[in-house]
Amino acid sequence: MGKFLALLLVAASPLAAGPLTFDKTAKEVDVPFEATSTFVDFSFKNTGSETVVIDRAQSDCPCISSAIKGGLVIAPGGEGTIRATMDTKALTGVVDKTIGVWLKGDSLQPSQLLKMKAKIPDLVTVEPKAVIWEIGDAPEPKKVTVTMNPATMPIHVTSLTGADGSFKHEWKEIEKGRKYEITITPVSTDGHRNGVLHLDTDCTYQRHRSHGIFAVVKGKVKKP
């Protein structure tokens, strides 16, 4: 019983990076449709008896930048905040990123890992994002479905271009402003072919307006 109670107390207590104690080390944020970036703040306090020097707060993803409020030298009892900012222009869906907090004296591993989860709405969903044939396959058409987020006003497909003549393509409206179907057909499957179709819509938000669809004829995968 005593060991179980001790585990509960540890689980309920704030999380610490050495003498730095964080209020939370994992946070979530819901990103608005129109946003191109978002951030979360991780508050901390030096609960030790010695001064702590923060070397850096850094993520291995270039989409994350970090700023430290309160200075890098934290005296006993001192407080501060690490703000992690995520560039969401090229991201959709649920995105998990980690920020490492290195203190003076850390070598290969940071003293603390902070986790940021961003829920980024996708106003235009394209499935699948790539259609693939193998060399020698029948050059039969494949379908791509474009669905608009029902929480928004209607969004319409305005154009579909590209693929450099390697693939024939056409689109039709299934439900006005809500659902569209794209048909892609290779002119031949006698060799490697790659193409990118550019789908444009009248979406109000620029980051959701254009999408790429990949079409590929590739070599057959050899079985071991």
40-62: pLDDT as tens digits: 999 999 999 999 999 999 999 99
Higher pLDDT, 20 or 150: 20
Q: Is the peptide bond before 128 cis (omega within 30 degrees of 0)?
A: yes
pLDDT of residue 9: 34
Is residue 45 in a domain?
yes
Is residue 213 in a domain?
yes
Is residue 7 in a domain?
no
Based on the domain organization, do 44 and 112 belong to the same domain?
yes
Last residue of a domain, one of 120, 151, 179: 120
Is residue 116 in a domain?
yes
pLDDT at 223 over 90: no
Q: pLDDT over 90 for what percent of the chain?
A: 74
Number of domains in the chain: 2
Pick the range with the lowest mean pLDDT from 11-20, 172-181, 197-206: 11-20
Cβ atoms 83, 70 nearer than 8 A: no
Based on the domain organization, do 115 and 141 belong to the same domain?
no
Is residue 224 in a domain?
no
- Pick the closest to residue 93 from 201, 208, 14, 186 (CA basis): 208
> Can you tell me the mean pLDDT for 155-165?
90
| Parent domain of 64 | 15-120
Based on the domain organization, do 158 and 102 belong to the same domain?
no
